[in-house]
């Protein structure tokens, strides 16, 4: 086992805050080092990379099923509910419970996902047409879960605190979350920055941090997802995040230069302490 792979397994994976991390889409991966999936440690990746993972048939990794096109996330807790499997050109979008995927690492140290389904099976899978309201329909959710023989960990209404958005409005695609503006919670006119990426514990299916670009002359600040509140205003597309911090506070927050690598194990603890929250499933140092 290489030193690099060892560090990935113990949760010290670093990610690049910049976008553009992609895998080769046309070539099947090498056989995985761990055919039963990653069971040791935790794998931490940016959402820009997670939402571009190739998906292969578990019983034959030469057969590609498609690519993860997006993630369906319950924004209040940062829990990944589904990965949207896109089956290719003129293909279909299929919501797959996150627990149904097995994360694999090939001998080239590149990650990919597998499913215990064949290409023929996928042809009859329930599809997703960008309408997020289907995920609060119990019959629809039950049908998706039954098809993949997995639970999607959908939130219950009782799990949503009073005064926050209803469940249906907190189910958001990762591509939308990783493009939101961030404002001061008490002053909606005080913009703190914009989300450029999400940091995801792929093993547990949790968003750990949102990376906030604080603007011209600023830096990238890893903010524990638990510190954000999702806000929806009037109009279908009016969605943003708030923080109980000011612009001056953000200047003092743990941060890195925009092109600098971020080590979650190194920066996570100080970020949690600064924002006064505990990040779910954060890797241990």
Contacts 24+ apart (CB under 8 A), 57-63: 57/114, 57/115, 57/117, 57/118, 57/119, 58/102, 58/114, 58/115, 58/116, 58/117, 59/116, 59/118, 61/28, 61/29, 61/31, 61/32, 61/104, 61/112, 61/114, 62/28, 63/28, 63/118, 63/119
**Residue 240 corresponds to which tokens in the numbers above?**
């943003």
At residue 218, the pLDDT reads: 78
140 and 147 in contact (C-beta within 8 Å)?
no
Residue ranges of the chain with pLDDT lower than 50? 1-40, 283-285
CB-based contacts of 17, cutoff 8 Å, min separation 6: 46, 196, 197, 211, 220, 256, 258, 259, 260, 261, 262
Rounded to whole angstroms, how far apart are CA atoms 174 and 183? 19
Rounded to whole angstroms, how far apart are CA atoms 89 and 66? 10
The DSSP code sequence of 24-45 is -SSSPPPPBSSTT---SSB-EE
Q: Which residue blocks in the chain are alpha helix, DSSP H? A: 3-9, 47-50, 119-122, 138-148, 174-177, 247-252, 264-275
At residue 194, the pLDDT reads: 96
104 and 39 in contact (C-beta within 8 Å)?
no
227 and 277 in contact (C-beta within 8 Å)?
yes
At residue 17, the pLDDT reads: 33
CA pseudo-torsion sign 12, 18, 19, 25: negative
Number of Cβ within a 10 Å radius of residue 71: 24
Rounded to whole angstroms, how far apart are CA atoms 3 and 247? 40
At residue 35, the pLDDT reads: 29
φ, ψ dihedrals at 257, nearest 5°: -65, 155
């Amino acid at each position: 086992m290489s030193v690099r792979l060892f560090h990935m397994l113990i949760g010290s994976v670093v990610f690049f805050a910049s976008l553009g991390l992609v895998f080769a889409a046309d070539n099947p991966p090498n056989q995985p080092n761990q055919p039963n999936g990653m069971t040791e440690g935790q794998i931490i990746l940016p959402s820009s990379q997670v939402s571009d993972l190739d998906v292969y048939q578990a019983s034959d990794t030469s057969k590609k099923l498609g690519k993860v096109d997006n993630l369906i996330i319950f924004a209040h807790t940062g829990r990944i509910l589904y990965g949207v499997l896109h089956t290719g050109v003129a293909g279909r979008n299929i919501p797959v419970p996150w627990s149904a995927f097995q994360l694999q690492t090939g001998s080239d140290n590149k990650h990919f996902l597998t499913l215990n389904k064949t290409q023929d099976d996928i042809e009859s899978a329930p599809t997703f047409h960008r309408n997020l309201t289907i995920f609060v329909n119990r019959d629809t959710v039950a049908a998706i879960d039954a098809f993949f023989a997995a639970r999607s960990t959908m939130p219950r209404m009782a799990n949503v605190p009073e005064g926050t958005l209803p469940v249906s409005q907190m189910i958001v695609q990762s591509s939308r979350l990783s493009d939101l503006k961030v404002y001061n919670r008490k002053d909606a006119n005080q913009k703190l920055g914009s989300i450029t990426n999400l940091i995801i514990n792929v093993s547990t299916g949790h968003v750990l941090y949102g990376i906030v670009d604080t603007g011209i002359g600023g830096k990238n600040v890893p903010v524990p997802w638990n510190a954000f509140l999702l806000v929806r205003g009037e109009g279908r597309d009016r969605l943003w995040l708030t923080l109980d911090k000011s612009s001056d506070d953000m200047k003092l927050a743990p941060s890195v230069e925009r092109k600098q690598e971020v080590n979650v194990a190194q920066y996570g603890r100080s970020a949690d302490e600064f924002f006064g929250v505990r990040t779910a499933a954060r890797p241990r140092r």
